[in-house]
Amino acid sequence: MKNNRILKEKIIFSFIKMAAFFSAITLVLIIGYVFIRGFKVISWQFLFQEVQQRDITKGGILQAIIGTIYLGIGTFFIAVPAGISSAIFLNEYIPDTKTSRVIRVAIRNLAGVPSIVYGLFGLAVFVQFFNLKTSLLSAILTLSSMTLPWIITASEESLKAVPFEFREAALAMGATNWQTIKKIVIPHSLPGMITGSILGLSRALGETAPIILVGATFYCRSLPTSVFDKFMALPYHLFILATQHAHPQAHEYALGTAIVLITIIYLMSLTAILIRYHLRKKKNA
Amino acid sequence: MPKKIIKTENLNLWFANKKILKEINLEIVENKITAIIGPSGCGKSTFVRTLNRMNDLIPSCRITGNVHYKGKNIFSPETDVTNLRQNIGQVFQKPNPFPKSIFDNIAFGPRLYGEKNKDKLKNIVEESLEKVGLWKEVKNDLAKNALSLSGGQQQRLCLARTLATKPKVILMDEPCSALDPLSTAKIEDLMQNLKDITIVIVTHNMQQATRVSHFTGFFLMGKLIEFGETKDIFTKPQNKKTEDYISGKFG
The domain of A160 spans: 44-283
pLDDT for residue A285: 53
Contact A203, A269 (CB under 8 A): no
Q: Is residue A271 part of a domain?
A: yes
Closest C-alpha to B242, from B220, B221, B222: B220
Q: What value does the mean pLDDT of chain B take? A: 93
Query: Touching check for B247 and chain A: CB below 8 Å?
Result: no
Q: How confident is the model at residue B214 (pLDDT cuts 50, 70, 90)?
A: very high
pLDDT tens by residue, A88-138: 999 988 877 888 899 989 998 998 899 999 999 999 999 999 999 999 999
Contact partners, residue A82, CB within 8 Å, separation at least 6: A144, A148, A151
Q: Is residue A18 part of a domain?
A: no
Query: Touching check for A96 and chain B: CB below 8 Å?
Result: yes
pLDDT tens by residue, B157-213: 999 999 999 999 999 999 998 889 998 998 999 999 998 999 999 998 899 999 999
Q: Is residue A169 part of a domain?
A: yes
pLDDT for residue B159: 95
Q: Is residue A24 part of a domain?
A: no
pLDDT tens by residue, B54-85: 999 888 999 999 999 999 999 999 999 999 99
Bridge partners, B11 (sequence order)? B24
Closest C-alpha to A128, from A251, A45, A214: A214
Mean pLDDT of B214-224: 95
Q: To probe the interface with A, which of B54, B108, B173 has the most A CB atoms within 10 Å?
A: B108
pLDDT for residue A1: 58
Q: Is residue A20 part of a domain?
A: no
Query: Touching check for B75 and chain A: CB below 8 Å?
Result: no
pLDDT for residue B152: 92
The answer, yes or no, to whether residue A54 has pLDDT greater than 90, is no
Check A173 against B99: CB less than 8 A apart. Answer: no
pLDDT for residue A275: 84
Mean pLDDT of A225-246: 91
Query: Touching check for B43 and chain A: CB below 8 Å?
Result: no
Q: How confident is the model at residue B240 (pLDDT cuts 50, 70, 90)?
A: very high
Q: Is residue A22 part of a domain?
A: no
Report the length, in residues, of chain A.
285
Mean pLDDT of A235-257: 91
How distant, in Å, are the alpha carbons of A77, A80, A191 from that of A84?
11, 6, 12
Chain A residues whose beta carbon lies within 8 Å of the beta carbon of residue B57: 168, 171
Structural domain tally of chain A? Answer: 1
Chain B residues whose beta carbon lies within 8 Å of the beta carbon of residue A175: 82, 112
Q: Is residue A7 part of a domain?
A: no
The answer, yes or no, to whether residue A2 has pLDDT greater than 70, is no
Q: What is the 3-state secondary structure (H, E, C) of chain B?
A: CCCEEEEEEEEEEEECCEEEEEEEEEEEECCCEEEEECCCCCCHHHHHHHHCCHHHHCCCEEEEEEEEECCEECCCCCCCHHHHHHHEEEECCCCCCCCCEHHHHHHHHHHHCCCCCHHHHHHHHHHHHHHCCCHHHHCCCCCCEHHHCCHHHHHHHHHHHHHCCCCCEEEEECCCCCCCHHHHHHHHHHHHHCCCCEEEEECCCHHHHHHHCCEEEEEECCEEEEEEEHHHHHHCCCCHHHHHHHCCCCC
Query: Touching check for B82 and chain A: CB below 8 Å?
Result: yes
DSSP code string of A140-178:
HHHHHHHHHHHHHHHHHHHHHTS-HHHHHHHHHTT--HH
The answer, yes or no, to whether residue A279 has pLDDT greater than 90, is no
Report the length, in residues, of chain B.
251
What percent of chain A has pLDDT above 70? 98
Closest-CA residue of chain B to A285:
B145
Q: Distance, in angstroms, between A105 CA and closest chain B CA?
A: 21
CATH of the domain at A92: 1.10.3720.10
Q: How confident is the model at residue A284 (pLDDT cuts 50, 70, 90)?
A: low
What percent of chain B has pLDDT above 90? 88
Query: Touching check for A170 and chain B: CB below 8 Å?
Result: yes
Mean pLDDT of B37-57: 93
Q: What value does the mean pLDDT of chain A take? A: 91
Q: Distance, in angstroms, between B98 CA and closest chain A CA?
A: 6
The answer, yes or no, to whether residue B1 has pLDDT greater than 70, is no
Mean pLDDT of A39-64: 88
Domains of chain B: 4-98+167-246 (3.40.50.300)
Burial class (CB in 10 A: 0-12, 13-18, 19+), B229: middle
Q: Is residue A64 part of a domain?
A: yes
Closest-CA residue of chain B to A183:
B108
The answer, yes or no, to whether residue B226 has pLDDT greater than 80, is yes
Chain A residues whose beta carbon lies within 8 Å of the beta carbon of residue B83: 174
